[in-house]
Chain A
Amino acid sequence: MSTYYAGLFADAGILLLGALSVYIILATGQLSLGNAGLMGIGAYVTSYLTVNVGVPITAALTIAGIACGAIGVVVGFPALHLKGIYLAMATLGFGEMVRSFFLNFSPMGGAGGFHGMKHISVGYIWAWAGGLLIVVMLLERSRVWLEMQAVRDDETAAGLVGLKTTTTKVAAFGAGAAIAAISGGLFAHQFVYIEPGNFGFERSIDFVLAVILGGSTVAPGALAGAMLLVLLPEMLRFLADWRLAAFGGLLIVVLLVRRQGILDRSLFRLVTFRSSPT
């Protein structure tokens, strides 16, 4: 595999994790526009551990994931008050605050960025990305997932039948934050240099786009979306300067003609030759 394709696949793997982090939170009906901030925390924590402390990468990623999951739970609690677009705007503000924090945080380089990480292979990135995708797909077949769907569809009704809606929503935030942190740690060790600008609003939007384009009702949708988001601008290269405009146009078209995203449950069944449960 050439370096060029290796780079693209690495990007796609990192984006897949970012998209999954949004997907899990979205499964409880909450939209987060601040996951790049959580990814940033993960990137900085992992890099600190591998460069300054000398922890091996896998252990560092695990620690960053757990730490960021805890942060996600802490962030998730106040977020319980907010719904829909208000939650989206609050998480957007959180992401910008994290970015601004690292700009001022001189022990980790501040605006100058941080480097010294060792490069990792595409295979390693995809071991994490693929592994976590499978974990989420297994989760989708569990009772917990049904509870998450119930909270998304009607929170009041879910609460009335005795589901712990608060726990479900906060746990989803924690799990999403942990995955975002791992995505950030991998990002840091793929590009071996990080700066706060890497974890801005545009990246949060990329995660949401991957989920919505790929299909927001099945986990493999995040995979489809991540591949599409990384490969499409490359495939549109013949359009030269206009390829971003074409990409924006395609995005609108997909939203207009296939609102649920490219993959949905029925298409997914068709692809996997599984009979529908009727």
Chain B
Amino acid sequence: MLLQQFVNGLTLGAVYTLIALSFALVMGILGVLNLAIAELFMIGGYLGFSVITLNLPLPLAIVAGMAGAALIAAVIEKIGYQPLRDTPVVTPMLSTLGFSIILQNVATNIWGSDPLQLPDEFLGTRYVIGPISISSMQLIVLGATAVLVAALAYVVQRTSIGRALRAVAENRDVARLLGVSASRLTLLAFVLSGALAGAAGVLIGLHYAAITPYIGVEIGLKAIAVMVIGGTTRIWGALVAGPLIGIIEVMTVAYGGSQVRDFVVYGFMIAILLLRPQGILGGTQGGQGQRV
């Protein structure tokens, strides 16, 4: 039972990790909370659903979700972030909120406000390993997350684009003096973050086998908590915080009643903000100062 909950928590945590990474890419590099990520995730989920219901292969669904969300993220960057780059943090945050209102409205009008559901037999095969029963859907969610995180890690850590991104995150002005095109990289950060959110949307659609236009807000707020717990300036903290929150959530639902889970998660987030603002993974507090 305990191990089973552990596996379920890990699957949920995998999706949280992806969205938290998506938030952290924009937050860590630009210091902006992009609230539209929650809805990009929802739109990605719907696009993936549409592809799946056309009986096309699952990888194509994930790619469609990523591409759609990345494209919208690029539009958001051009209209909602770039002109407001030098304003206080609240202004770009509210303009991304404007986009999230639009996206939610568009999704409700296109797909309706009732949940769309996947057919029962879709990916329903379960494998029993000792005391644990794991469905092929869960395996796909975990596998796809691992692949995406590895790809992101490669881009950020090993390529010249990634080096430029890290340079802008460290100090935007110095990076520009050294010849890094900050505006191009801002766009890239938004696109990467959108693609991750889109993929996460498809995966959560598989996880719940259903999707509604309102899924973004609930999961999105939770993902912000995951990002904070992992540390906002070190994006890889989400790799630890995502599974941790997923497991804590599933465990509190299993042993403490479903209603206390949000209380626990957000309480944990506030404790981290107050006691360990650099996130559980640690590192120095040095990066904290200049972005606030």
Contact = CB atoms under 8 A, between A and B. Distances in A.
Interface of A: 31, 78, 81-86, 88-90, 92-94, 96-97, 99-101, 103-104, 110-111, 201-202, 205, 208-209, 212, 241-242, 244-245, 247-249, 251-252, 255-256, 259
A255 B260 contact: no
B260 A93 contact: no
Nearest to B220: A201
Which 4 residue pairs across A and B have the least CB separation, nearest first?
A248-B101, A248-B102, A251-B98, A252-B98
B265 to A, nearest CB: 8
Contact of A251 (B101, B225, B262): B101
Contacts, number: 130
A99 B260 CA distance: 11
B105 to A, nearest CB: 4
Interface string B61-81: 000000000000000000110
Contact of A245 (B93, B106, B292): B106
Given A256-B83, A259-B87, A249 B262 contact: no
B273 A249 contact: no
Interface of B: 27, 31-33, 79-80, 83-84, 87, 89-91, 93-95, 97-102, 104-106, 108-109, 217, 221, 224-225, 228, 232, 257, 259-263, 266-267, 269-270, 273-274, 277, 291-292
Contact of A252 (B27, B31, B99, B273): B99
Nearest to A29: B88
Given A245-B102, A251-B101, A100 B90 contact: no
A86 B84 contact: no
Contact of A208 (B90, B225, B267): B90
Give the one of A209, A212, A255 with max B CB within 10 A. A255
A79 B262 CA distance: 20
A143 to B, nearest CB: 25
A9 to B, nearest CB: 24
A253 B238 CA distance: 34
A212 B79 CA distance: 18
Main secondary structure of the interface of A (DSSP, over half): helix
18 contacts: A85-B27, A85-B93, A93-B266, A93-B273, A100-B262, A103-B259, A104-B257, A241-B108, A241-B109, A242-B105, A248-B102, A251-B94, A251-B95, A251-B101, A252-B79, A252-B80, A252-B98, A255-B95
Contacts of B259: 100, 103-104, 110-111
A155 to B, nearest CB: 11
Contact of A97 (B93, B99, B104, B263): B263
Main secondary structure of the interface of B (DSSP, over half): helix
Contact of A89 (B79, B267, B269): B269
A79 to B, nearest CB: 9
A255 B91 contact: yes
Contacts of B262: 96-97, 99-100, 103
A241 B97 CA distance: 19
A253 to B, nearest CB: 9
Contacts of A97: 262-263, 266-267, 270
Contacts of B93: 85, 88
Nearest to B108: A241
A242 B108 CA distance: 10
A209 B95 CA distance: 10
A208 B228 CA distance: 22
B33 A255 contact: no
A92 B35 CA distance: 13
Contacts of B101: 244-245, 247-248, 251
A88 B94 CA distance: 12
Contacts of B273: 82, 86, 89-90, 93
B270 A104 contact: no
A201 B222 CA distance: 12
Given A78-B274, A101-B263, A245-B106, A31 B98 contact: no
B292 A93 contact: no
Given A97-B266, A209-B94, A249-B98, 16 more contacts: A31-B89, A82-B273, A88-B90, A89-B228, A93-B267, A97-B263, A99-B262, A100-B261, A104-B257, A244-B101, A244-B105, A245-B101, A245-B106, A251-B98, A252-B80, A259-B91
A183 B109 CA distance: 33
A212 B95 CA distance: 11
Contacts of A255: 84, 91, 94-95, 98
Contacts of A83: 292
A81 B270 CA distance: 12
Contact of A86 (B80, B90, B98, B292): B292
Give the one of B79, B100, B262 with max A CB within 10 A. B262
A112 to B, nearest CB: 12
A103 to B, nearest CB: 5
Nearest to B225: A93
A85 B31 contact: yes
A242 to B, nearest CB: 7
Given A90-B273, A111-B259, A201-B217, A251 B292 contact: no
